[in-house]
A = this chain, B = another copy of it.
Amino acid sequence: MTNTSNVIAADIGGTNIRLARICDGLILEEVRHQADFSVLQNMSKLEAEQHILHTLEAAVQQLPLDNVQGVGIGFPGFFIGNSGVLAASPNIPQLSNFALAKKLSERLSMPVTAQNDALCAAIGEQTFGAGQGHANLLHITLGTGIGGGLILNNTPYTGESGMAMEFGHLKVEHGNESRLCGCGNRGCVEAYASATAISARYNELAGINTSPKDIYQRAVNGNQQAADILESASMYLGTAIAQAITLLDIRTVTISGGLIGAWDILYPNIMTALNANLIPPLQGKISVIPSTLQDNAGILGASKLLD
């Protein structure tokens, strides 16, 4: 028996909550909930906190809890170090300084830890997936938004206020003509290369509102506009990765998210832009690897938070 045996891990998204009982990286059983966090918008801070705690408590109790050592939670927000205190959550603005882990621990009478969801994905990928064996790892979550998680010397890096690795908000274009991002700024890589941005950009170019998966299929079938958008998105991604490598000098990057289904188009363009934007001694030295855990990266990483 190792120290990861029998924990409950939770992966909290904007529209659903997933919980699993996990032993040494093996998902034993799981439950999924629809969780519409938009209902939180009209609640006070206290009401929203109680709603989240109640939802999580009820979900945990659907799983068998005998011999469970505790609960690890991946949550979309900024946590102060390893305190389990949520400093802020971009999607639930009324939450601030919310002692999520401590409050849930009191309700469940067992240890609870919580950490940023993209950082959990990085921990999962480094422990069980494509990042295994790499003490330093940059993990990028390529979904409706773009997130990042960083492991330095086998330690998750959170920054001074839990806001490190806001990878999606690295700038890849400049000026007033650059695309508007959900964060309110212009030119962020998320505004060019996220799933949402790829659909929007293809719609602007081709007048067809469809999914990145369909855009990829069109590209494979010879549609030049679809290929152009995917190529452009992956070049922007490579440019943003180069900024991170220029500062961090780490050699291994993993990428998860539905978009890696288009890896055969993404990969060569990511590498071209990455190498074009690195200082010469680093060119050709960086490995960019697709996730092997995909949707499970976050929940498996959350299962390691109690170690």
Mask, A229-264, CB within 8 Å of B = 1, is 000000000010011101111110000000000000
Pick the contact of A250: B88, B159, B172, B279 (CB < 8 A): B159
With contact pairs A136-B160, A172-B174, A277-B185 given, residues A167 and B247 touching in the complex (Cβ less than 8 Å) = yes
Interface presence of A207 (CB below 8 A): no
Interface residues on A, range: 35 or more
Interface presence of A43 (CB below 8 A): no
Interface presence of A276 (CB below 8 A): yes
Interface presence of A163 (CB below 8 A): yes
Interface presence of A161 (CB below 8 A): yes
- Stoichiometry, as copies per complex, reads 2
Interface presence of A65 (CB below 8 A): no
Interface presence of A194 (CB below 8 A): no
CA–CA, A180 to B93, complex, Å?
Answer: 43
CA–CA, A161 to B165, complex, Å?
Answer: 21
Contacts of A25 in B (CB 8 A): none
Contacts of A171 in B (CB 8 A): 239, 242-243, 277
* Given A169-B279, A185-B279, 19 other A-B residues pairs in contact with their CB atoms under 8 A: A78-B281, A88-B281, A90-B281, A150-B247, A159-B250, A160-B250, A161-B251, A161-B281, A162-B249, A163-B279, A163-B282, A164-B249, A166-B249, A166-B279, A170-B247, A171-B242, A171-B277, A185-B276, A243-B247
Interface presence of A158 (CB below 8 A): yes
CA–CA, A167 to B279, complex, Å?
Answer: 11
CA–CA, A229 to B136, complex, Å?
Answer: 39
Contacts of A246 in B (CB 8 A): 166-167, 169-170
Interface presence of A280 (CB below 8 A): yes
CA–CA, A251 to B162, complex, Å?
Answer: 12
Pick the contact of A280: B184, B247, B249, B285 (CB < 8 A): B184
Contact B170 A243 (CB under 8 A): yes
Write the nearest CB–CB distance from A79 to chain B, whole angstroms: 12
Q: Which residue of B lies closest to A161 (CB)?
A: B249
Contact A249 B159 (CB under 8 A): yes
Write the nearest CB–CB distance from A295 to chain B, whole angstroms: 25
Write the nearest CB–CB distance from A119 to chain B, whole angstroms: 12
CA–CA, A282 to B165, complex, Å?
Answer: 13
CA–CA, A195 to B110, complex, Å?
Answer: 59
Interface presence of A220 (CB below 8 A): no
CA–CA, A276 to B136, complex, Å?
Answer: 30
Contacts of A160 in B (CB 8 A): 136, 249-251
Return 21 A-B CB contacts under 8 Å, by A number.
A90-B279, A148-B247, A158-B249, A159-B250, A161-B282, A163-B249, A163-B279, A164-B247, A166-B246, A166-B247, A166-B249, A170-B246, A170-B247, A171-B239, A174-B174, A184-B280, A185-B277, A185-B279, A243-B247, A244-B247, A247-B248
